Amino acid sequence: MLTQATFDFIDEVDRLRDQAALVASFQKVVSGFGITYFMVGEPKPPATPLTENDGHIWGTTWPSEWLSRWTTRNYLQVDPVVRHIRTHNRPLRWSALEGASDDPGKRVMLEAGEFRMHGGYTVPIYSRDGLAVAVSLGSEHYELGKREEACLHMASIYMHATLERLRGRYARPRGPKLTNRERECLSWVAAGKTDWEISQILKIAEQTVHEYVQNALIKLNATTRAQAVAIAILTKQINT
């Protein structure tokens, strides 16, 4: 049963040790749903050309000629699916795009048809910094229903989250980063120095030190210096 295969995949992701194994396992699950062409990649910001081997494509079963054409002709920028997911946080069934009047976009979809990708479903994964990854699932005859799409959506979420964890990219707390000077001053505060002592060490005015430290407190949402130091250490913005 397809739902069972999805849940089995989710149970086993923790045991997969590297990106290749994870993508292969994911590919096996999606092929069970009749998906022959899948692509997992990081859509770069508009106006940045994507090349075939720059590491932003994590795994794909697209026919190599199509992939080559898609990257060298920079279809990433006109592909209507990609354009849609840049502004919508929801998975998209490609057929829902029917009726788009945009010419270059329509041509991309027609050309995909030449390679037998007639229908599909794309899951955007958003992190705190914006669109992180897109999981694109295509097939010759796309006939998946809501329940199957829910399975694929969930499998995509787990695939990507596990990949991010494997790459060591743990979620950092939201908030502006400290500047070098703010970090420097706060490190001295952590070492027990007063503003005056820090001003002597760094050879800047005491008032300036005070301002750097105050800014750090505001950025870290701290009410006291001790709290700011604790938060900065916890978020690895200063070392002890």
Partner 1 sequence: MIEVVTSRNALLYRDALEEMFRIRHRALVEFQGLERLRRADGRLTDRFDTDDAIHLLLTGDDGAVRGGLRLLPTTSPHVLSEILPQLCDCKGLQRDPKTLELSRMCIDPNLDFAARELGRNRLLVGLVEFCHRTGYERITLLIKTDTLYRHLLIGLDIKPLGLAVDRDGLKQLAVVVRVTDEALDALRQALAVRESEIHYVGAPHEDALVLGPAARWPLAARL
Report the distance separating Cα 40 and Cα 29, nearest Å: 14
- Minimum distance from CB of 144 to partner 1 (Å)? 13
How many residues are listed for the chain in this entry?
240
Residue from 5, 154, 166, 201 that binds partner 1 (CB under 8 A)?
154
| 104 touches 78 (CB < 8 A) | yes
Of these, 53, 147, 203, 224, which contacts partner 1 (CB under 8 A)?
Answer: 147
- Asked if 127 interacts with partner 1 (CB under 8 A), we say yes
Nearest-angstrom CA–CA distance, 178 and 171: 17
Q: How far is the CB of 175 from partner 1 (least distance, A)?
A: 9
From the list 29-37, 78-86, 161-169, 196-204, the region that binds partner 1 by CB under 8 A is: 161-169
Total binding residues toward partner 1, as defined by CB under 8 A:
36
Residue of the chain from 5, 10, 166, 202 that contacts partner 1 (CB under 8 A): 10
Contact between 8 and partner 1 by CB under 8 A: the answer reads no
**164 contacts partner 1 (rule: CB under 8 A):** yes
125 binds partner 1 (CB under 8 A): yes
- 108 CB-contact burial (10 Å; exposed 0-12 / middle 13-18 / buried 19+): buried
| 37-41 sheet: strands from edge to edge | 57-60, 37-41, 130-139, 119-127, 92-93
Site for partner 1 in 42-81 (CB under 8 A): none
- Report how far residue 41's alpha carbon sits from residue 132's, in angstroms, rounded to the nearest whole number: 9
171 lies in the site for partner 1, by CB under 8 A: yes
- Residues in 94-113 at the binding interface with partner 1, rule: CB under 8 A: none
Nearest Cα neighbor of 73 from 125, 108, 100 is 108
Q: Does 190 bind partner 1 (CB under 8 A)?
A: no
Q: Least distance (Å) from partner 1 to the CB of residue 188?
A: 21
Output 109 or 134, the one with its CB closest to partner 1: 134
Exactly one of 15, 17, 128, 141 binds partner 1 (CB under 8 A); that residue is: 128
User: Does residue 158 bind partner 1 (CB under 8 A)?
Assistant: yes
Q: Identify the residue among 126, 140, 200, 207 touching partner 1 (CB under 8 A).
A: 126
Which residues contact partner 1 by CB under 8 A?
3-4, 7, 10-11, 14, 89-90, 125-128, 147, 150-151, 153-154, 157-158, 160-162, 164-165, 169-174, 220-221, 230-231, 234-235
